[in-house]
Chain A
Amino acid sequence: MIQLFHVSKTYLPNYRALTDISLEVKRGEFVFLGGPSGAGKSTLLKLLFRQEEPSEGQILIDGKNVTRLPSRQVAQLRRKIGLIFQEFKLLPDLTVLNNVALAAEVIGISKKVSRAKAYQLLRELGLKERYDSKPLSLSGGEQQRVAIARALVNEPMLVLADEPTGNLDAEVAEETMRLLFKIRDKGATIVVATHDLNLINRYGTRVILLQRGALADDLKLASWQENGK
């Protein structure tokens, strides 16, 4: 599903955020992208959904080289990717239902169908009673579930989550992770970027460790998972 070949990213004038990253994530896989703050996790995610372009190397998503896509095709790519952020990125003046439906409406699905799909998802995520509320009246966990519903409304093949539990307490974080695993079970590929070692160690799934913008070897990974260093 995801293939990176010798990918580097340098920010002008001379800050190297990623160095020579090559990796592969298979379809239906659940992967943690771990590492301390500033390791390059968010930059790597941005390259995957083409918010940024790599300075060197090639990136393939679902077999398609996304390294230098024209903007029209960037939009097409993002329709296949569900994005979840630490800060939720919900629109405060839209209702919960409209926040979720917006993602479907902008790709040409009718208002009626978009709202029906959004409602169905909110029901599945236990937010049926809150569909008409404004996001700011919801708890952090509820807001993150709305953001997840928005990420799922277009049935993406890939979900990228950047510190999805960063603003949530342990119990709600656990619940959010369970949701992401459920999405994986339905066939989507999931990449979760996090610096939370406890979270990573709890699930025993594949971990890609970034340190100072480079991929860490298995030894470093074992040491990081053990000591957090």
Chain B
Amino acid sequence: MRIALVGFVLRRVHHNLWQLFWTHVLTCGTVAMTLFVFGAFMLVEINLTHLLKDWGEQIQLTAYLAKKLEPAALQALLKRVETLPEVERVRHISQEQAWRDFQSALGAQSSLLEGLPRDVLPASLEISLKPARHDGTVVQQLAQRLKEEKAITIVDYPQEWVEGLELIVLAVEWAKWIFGGVLFLATFFIVGSTVKLAMLARQAEVEIMQLVGASEELIQAPFVLEGMIQGVVGGAVALALLWVGYLSLKNETTSLAGFLAPLGQIQFLDWQNIALLLVIGWLLGATASVISLRRFLKTWNSSRGER
């Protein structure tokens, strides 16, 4: 397209955006709401995945030992476990240590333990895994291998809990596409209707442009560009709303402690996701306007005998 035509298209877009200003604002608002909901799902998904990773990295296996284990047998067992490829560190908790830990955990209620023998709690091994070895199957296989040791009676690990969280992340991802899909479809029709309204408002102009020899591309370009602008502006507004939502949520969660502490470090969308949201807005605006425009022009032209 020649530079003069680019200038012409831009002038038409500027004129048209002002002519139907509030219609365009409403359409941008609809695009923004759709992308906001989609972006919110993205945020939840990203942070749940982050949380899962964080918790996963803290997974420890606890192997409870049989009573009266000879020191030599214990040393041999520690050595065997330490040399396993998945294992980062092994810590032996003696019966005495377990008793003290339990006592301090009970705090003021530690008197409840009076009268109980000090060797009531079993000794155990606390096993930390190497990074990138937190995969559910790997943990399960390791637990199985540990159970084969005669000196180990029970192996405990929070696998079910982690798997449950994985399921939640999966559900969020699905919900993102299902809700997003329905909203995209609705927005698609709304953007298309705005283009139709714009076409109706400029029917006379389009007819004259056709009669004086304007190409179809030139006639359609301002409408498509307007659709794209609506999509990108809608995307930008959605991102701004998400940012505000993110900041207020971050303020609320910084004071969380314990296993909820990672929630205090919630993350915003990374640049790839920001770009994705803007591209989705852009594509939504462009495709909705192209399809709506083609359909409208086809019906309109054939009603006037134009081919």
Contact = CB atoms under 8 A, between A and B. Distances in A.
A75 B214 contact: yes
A110 interface: yes
Interface in A28-68: 46, 49-53
B204 A52 contact: no
B212 A103 contact: yes
A83 interface: yes
Contact of B212 (A50, A51, A150): A150
A81 B305 CA distance: 19
A107 interface: yes
A111 B8 contact: yes
Nearest to A113: B4
Contact of A51 (B11, B209, B213, B304): B304
A29 to B, nearest CB: 23
Nearest to A151: B212
Contacts of A105: 4, 8
Contact of A89 (B207, B305, B306): B207
A150 B304 CA distance: 22
B307 interface: yes
Contacts, number: 70
A75 B304 CA distance: 16
B137 interface: no
Contacts of B210: 75, 78
A108 B5 CA distance: 5
A116 interface: no
Interface in B1-56: 2, 4-5, 7-8, 11
Interface in B193-213: 204-205, 207-213
Interface residues of B, number: 23
A136 to B, nearest CB: 13
Contact of B307 (A71, A91, A103): A71
B216 interface: yes
B174 to A, nearest CB: 44
A112 to B, nearest CB: 9
A137 to B, nearest CB: 18
A23 interface: no
B305 A52 contact: yes
A76 interface: yes
A46 B215 CA distance: 18
A52 B210 CA distance: 13
B165 interface: no
A79 interface: yes
Nearest to B4: A110
Interface string B220-253: 0000000000000000000000000000000000
Contacts of A108: 2, 4-5
A154 B213 CA distance: 10
Contacts of A91: 204-205, 208
B305 A51 contact: yes
The listed residue with most B CB atoms (<10 A of its CB), out of A50, A52, A108, is: A108
A111 B213 contact: no
Nearest to A49: B211
A109 interface: yes
Given A76-B213, A111-B7, A150-B212, A106 B305 contact: no
16 contacts: A51-B305, A53-B307, A75-B210, A78-B210, A89-B207, A89-B208, A91-B204, A103-B213, A106-B212, A106-B218, A108-B2, A108-B4, A110-B4, A111-B4, A111-B7, A150-B212
Q: What are the 5 A-B residue pairs with the smallest beta carbon separation, nearest first?
A: A79-B213, A106-B214, A78-B213, A103-B212, A52-B305
